């Protein structure tokens, strides 16, 4: 259970990081 939770957190963190990168790219493109 704990391992699964850790893996899920890692996956969520990776998704968030990708979303942040996308947002930053959009912001840079707008400017």
| pTM above threshold 0.85 | no
**27's tokens:** 């912001």
Per residue in 4-27, pLDDT (tens digit) is 888 889 999 999 999 999 999 999
pLDDT given at position 15: 96
The helix or strand, by DSSP H or E, that contains position 17, with its residue range, turns out to be helix 2-30
Output DSSP code: residue 1. Answer: -
Q: Is residue 1 predicted with pLDDT exceeding 80?
A: no
Q: Is residue 31 predicted with pLDDT exceeding 80?
A: no
Count CA atoms closer than 13 A to 22's CA, side-chain side. Answer: 6
């Amino acid at each position: 259970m704990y391992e699964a939770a850790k893996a899920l957190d890692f996956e969520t963190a990776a998704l968030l990081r990708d979303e942040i990168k996308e947002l930053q790219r959009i912001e840079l493109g707008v400017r």
